Chains A and B, each alone.
Chain A
Amino acid sequence: MMEDLLGSVTFGVFFLTTVGIYVVSVLGLNLQWGMTGQLNFGIAGFFALGAYTSAIMTTAPSDHHLGGFEMPIFVGFAAAMIVAGITAVLVGLITVRLRTDYLAIATIGIAEIVRLFLKNEDWLTNGVRGIPGIPRPFEASVGDNMFVFMAIVFFCVVLVYLALERARRAPWGRVLRAIRENEMGAEAAGKHITRFRLEAFVVGSMIMGLAGALFAHQIGFISPEAFTPRFATFIVWVMLIAGGSGNNRGAMLGALVIWLVWSGTGFVTSIVPPEYATQVSAVRLLMIGVLVQVILLYRPEGLLPEKPPNSRT
């Protein structure tokens, strides 16, 4: 009885922590797609960069990969955002002039390059064998406490949400939405489109990098296989579209609902005979697709549609 209870608490905390990490990712995408209209299909790339950077910065010294440098975890978070940000600047300078669909193709390629780089540069990342022993925050003082980690994830969620919500209500966010709505109009209104696009792309990617770092410290072990487009890119897009792109609260709700459905259908796997496991996992993915279709049929703008911020404040 007690063990059952403990089991469900553990599951609940792990579930909410995972949702929190996805929320951070979705909020980053909402800045790029929801507000600016940039199609970034390379979320996995920035997510992985953040995860690896924080892992290398915070793990104990190892012969198998660069470092580790045993830095405090918050240094790892900062480094994750900086590395994702610098990469986004380089990618952005090349791609920011591209129109949405071309940007999408470019970002798919970049995410793939990042994945192959992490997989093959053994000296840096230990290749396919991955990086184990990634510490949890405050492990020395409070031990490996999942509640503490959940609180830190939630703290990041709140911080990112407040920062992005203020950015959205500010003239900065207004220019981004203007660019999304009508590029020629924004240009005629005297806005330096390239600058704003680049800023949105970089800030959004830095947030994805932070999400990656949180993920690394949640799981404790990362390898290139953890950053497949399915979980790091596809499902983040689904969460944003279902929740309501352009609306930060919608992005958060979308992450919760989609992860609830995904985890919920996971129980099916344990009921059916093991020989059908592959089919079940395909069906689960299919169900997510169907769910998005249903949401878009009845709520074309997502569960929480975008609302204009009150410009009179």
Chain B
Amino acid sequence: MTIEVQHISKFFGGITALEDCSLTIEEGTITGLIGPNGAGKSTLFNIIAGSMKPDGGRVLFRGRDVTGLAPHRLFHEGIVRTFQVPNEFSRMTVRENLMTVPPAQLGENLFSAWFQWNRVRTQERDIAYDVDEVLAFLNLAHVADTPAGALSGGQKKLLELGRTMMTDAKLVLLDEPGAGVNRSLLAHLVDAIRRLNEERGYTFCIIEHDMDLVADLCNPVIAMMRGRILAQGTMAEVRSHPDVLDAYFGGSVEAVR
């Protein structure tokens, strides 16, 4: 397995965001994470990606305990995440946004920047070449030199996905990649995720409210509610699970019948 979340709890003051939450994301899957607002999905992402520390429990990545590691450390382990609200570098160009990402750049060392300028430039050229490929893949080549802040909401989502492509990611956590993206762009996004899964072997975990997208893309699907895991299985199984129906429709199906 890729990620094993064991008995994670997280409290914000008196509010329980996650309670004894355990789940497994298998290597090579596109796992969907669904649930109503406030179910704890994003909190779970924040804990896996290191942005928050859990109050209890632990996270294993490929068998190693990575609970509470800093985000940049987890990034280097291969855990890369995107945000529900894109966190682009607004006043930097789209190209610069992506060029920032590759880890262990020689020119990130100030002395190399001063005294090994030629080697830094050579590496920059290689990175720029990779960026061009990613931009072409994401249909963003025409906005390469636009400040990222000027992109549309959907394009920013694509840029977030692009960031995960600039490193050797193993597990990619996507927080609502489809929200605010128009239909034609969405088809492209789904296609991009599927290709990354098949061609690059990325394991995905996707938080998404668009059930058609989840049904189309994700297997297995995990349903959450009030900080707990309700059900896990194929979309069809999860959809017909009584707890899930109860959570989404606010009453037992028996009553409706």
What is the interface of chain A, defined by CB distance below 8 A to chain B?
163, 166-167, 170-175, 177-178, 181-182, 184-193, 199, 203, 306, 308, 311-313
Contact = CB atoms under 8 A, between A and B. Distances in A.
B37 interface: no
A192 B75 CA distance: 10
Top 8 A-B pairs, shortest CB-CB distance: A190-B75, A170-B113, A185-B87, A171-B107, A181-B89, A170-B107, A171-B105, A187-B71
Interface stretch (B14-22, B94-102, B177-185, B198-206): B94-102
Contact of B91 (A167, A199, A306): A306
B103 A185 contact: no
Contacts of A311: 93, 95-96, 99, 124, 128
A203 B113 CA distance: 14
A194 to B, nearest CB: 9
A188 B105 contact: no
A311 to B, nearest CB: 5
Nearest to A162: B114
Nearest to B105: A171
A193 B70 CA distance: 10
Secondary structure type dominating chain A contacts: helix
Which interface residue of B90, B95, B113, B120 has the most chain A CB atoms within 10 A? B113
Contacts, number: 107
Interface in B68-127: 70-72, 75-76, 80-83, 87-93, 95-97, 99-101, 103, 105-110, 112-114, 117, 120-121, 124
Contacts of B197: none
Contacts of B99: 171, 174, 311
B167 interface: yes
A203 B71 CA distance: 25
A313 B124 contact: yes
A313 B121 contact: yes
Nearest to A203: B110
B83 A184 contact: yes
Contacts of B5: none
A193 to B, nearest CB: 7
A173 B96 CA distance: 11
B101 A189 contact: yes
A91 to B, nearest CB: 19
Nearest to B113: A170
Contacts of A174: 92, 96, 99-100
B87 A190 contact: no
21 contacts: A167-B110, A170-B107, A170-B117, A171-B99, A171-B100, A171-B120, A173-B113, A174-B92, A174-B99, A177-B91, A178-B100, A181-B89, A182-B89, A185-B83, A187-B72, A188-B81, A188-B163, A189-B101, A190-B101, A192-B70, A311-B95
Contacts of B244: none
A311 B72 CA distance: 24
B49 interface: yes
Contacts of A175: 100, 108
A177 B109 CA distance: 15
A177 B149 CA distance: 14
B51 interface: yes
Which interface residue of A167, A193, A311 has the most chain B CB atoms within 10 A? A311
Contacts of B49: 188
Contacts of B108: 170-172, 175
B121 A188 contact: no
A185 B86 CA distance: 8
Nearest to A312: B128
A297 to B, nearest CB: 21
B98 to A, nearest CB: 9
A193 B88 CA distance: 16
Which interface residue of A167, A181, A184, A306 has the most chain B CB atoms within 10 A? A181
B163 A189 contact: yes
B113 A191 contact: no
B76 A185 contact: no
A181 to B, nearest CB: 4
Given A171-B105, A182-B90, A203-B110, A190 B128 contact: no
A185 B101 CA distance: 10
Contact of A190 (B95, B103, B117, B120): B103
Contacts of B51: 184, 187
